[in-house]
Chain A
Amino acid sequence: MSVLNAERIKLLSTRSPWWCALLAVALPVGLTALIASQAQIDPGDNGGSVQVTQMLASLGRAVVMVMAALSVTSEYRFGTIRSTFQAVPHRTTALLAKTVVTAIPAMLIGAVVGFGSWAVFRAINSFPALALDSAEDWRAVAGQIVVYGITAVLALGVGILIRQTAGAVAVLLVYALLVEGLVGLIPKIGDDIQHWLPFFAADRFLGVQAGPPIDDLPLGPWGYLAYFAAVAAVVLTAGILSAQRRDA
């Protein structure tokens, strides 16, 4: 508990997490408002669904990745990771505490983005189809909470492994925003690989983004969520193991 508190003080005593949080919310919610105001959706059309309101949540997710990676790479950059390990020599404890303290704000941001995007869309374009009246609808909106949390854990793991801010952020953003989309372009095997990539999995759980119908895919929505979480856990474990072996 005391280690968690120490990490909380660390997180809240610099300004960059606040800016990241603000950006992570403002970017997707603001752009969703813009889209909503310009949308020409035929109310009878399938396009007027709850899922449409979540199209830009992945932008906030990218900012959360930067925030999570920064929380550890900035410690390496300024040498405070050594003070951390000096105060808490059991490195797994220290890093798990950091994971919790990074994931919780990420989940809060996910909640604000998910419900915020939906609410703002609905306020501007109130179609009846936008009501949260099915399990799928709830999964698309409230699911952001879990997806943002897991995304933060994944990014933190990458941050621990790479240690440099520029490197970690570049790898995360290029991968999430470009690589996953481009893999599908590989002839023959591209699709099969893509079906097992982590953010593809996250989007299948949410049911947002265009793609093949879920029945044609290897896992169902909850299976994809478990898979996404497993990938994050593996990356975090790899990070912690390497931090234990490395000199601080």
Chain B
Amino acid sequence: MIEAVGLTKSYGKTLAVDNLSFSVPTGRVTGFLGPNGAGKSTTMRMILGLDTPTGGSALIDGKRYRDLHQPLRTVGALLDAKWVHPNRSARAHLQWLARSNKLPAKRVDEVLEIVGLTAVANKRAGGFSLGMSQRLGIAAALLGDPQVLLFDEPVNGLDPEGILWIRKFMHRLAEEGRTVFVSSHLLSEMALTAQELVVIGRGKLISQSSTEDFVAQATENTVRVRGPRLTDLRAALAQAGVSTRDEGENLVVSGMDCADIGELAARTQTVLHELSPQRGSLEEAFMQLTGDSVEYHTEIADGPTPATLVPAGK
């Protein structure tokens, strides 16, 4: 189990990770989701003891990474597939890693076999494609046969074949009962891979739940209400205990269907110009949750993006 408690990292005045607490349960695939620049990589580096937290701590099975004896036997990680000397062969790269943690030399050939790099084991790693580098990184992570695995954006930049391979591989690791913590900025990818989700934005925790719950909650059906004067209706909805939010001139109601809202509108004598059910897409929900926390806003990303809303029934 990985546990982050009040994890904080600041670079000068910039808070990259802000009082982040979450736990990664044993024996499951947990997705670590957030937009680019949300602090995912920094968090992972702190878990591995590469970066020192400004505050808080990250523990693996109750221990700091630095206190682990022969850590490759406990935690395997792939943070960046390019962290290999380009003139060193894949085998030599794995050999020195294996030796540093007193792992048997034959384990090198085993992991090369697992990731399918046996044929190119003696080629220099600098000539590898991104997909091959990724496999080499996974081989390195598996060297010590660890129970805990960390992957940072493992499908980034891969072709569809590579993505499929990684996805299947994650499932296989989970079936073997390992704890997998994998980051991504793509919710659709995580929905396919992860059973649990830790969602962060701007270094802060947004939610931690099972993927099922997150998706159910994120794709909650809402109703869009448009009219010249919605004050009374809004008050009536609030009285009925229904949550509403403003979206431009519209009112978005969640937890009440069109029929009930229509009747409520009639009772409060509200003129309606539109009453339409909405079903948010997964990505749109994710955007909504983390929207305020995207570090670099663009003009287009701001404001409502109707293209991502899929009105029901169309």
Contact = CB atoms under 8 A, between A and B. Distances in A.
B258 to A, nearest CB: 54
Nearest to B97: A87
B89 interface: yes
A37 B82 CA distance: 50
Nearest to B124: A14
Contact of B52 (A82, A86, A247): A247
Interface stretch (A4-12, A54-62, A223-231): A4-12
A79 B100 contact: no
B208 interface: no
A13 B96 CA distance: 9
Contacts of B88: 10, 13-14
- Looking at A15, A82, A90, the one whose CB has the most chain B CB atoms below 10 A away is A82
- Looking at B52, B67, B99, the one whose CB has the most chain A CB atoms below 10 A away is B99
- Looking at A6, A7, A16, A90, the one whose CB has the most chain B CB atoms below 10 A away is A6
A248 interface: yes
A167 B97 CA distance: 28
A14 B77 CA distance: 24
Interface string B77-96: 10110111111110011011
B49 interface: yes
B45 to A, nearest CB: 7
Interface in B51-72: 51-52, 65-68, 71-72
Which bucket holds chain B's interface residue count?
Answer: 20 to 34
Interface in A62-116: 74-75, 78-80, 82-90
B253 interface: no
Contacts of B102: 2
B85 A6 contact: no
Contact of B85 (A78, A85, A86, A248): A78
Nearest to A89: B66
Nearest to A11: B96
A248 B140 CA distance: 19
B99 A14 contact: no
B174 interface: no
Contacts of A74: 85
Contact of B49 (A75, A78, A89): A89
Interface of A: 2-3, 5-7, 9-10, 13-16, 74-75, 78-80, 82-90, 245, 247-248
Interface of B: 45, 48-52, 65-68, 71-72, 77, 79-80, 82-89, 92-93, 95-97, 99-102, 140
Given A78-B84, A82-B50, A83-B83, 6 more contacts: A7-B96, A9-B92, A79-B83, A87-B72, A89-B71, A247-B52
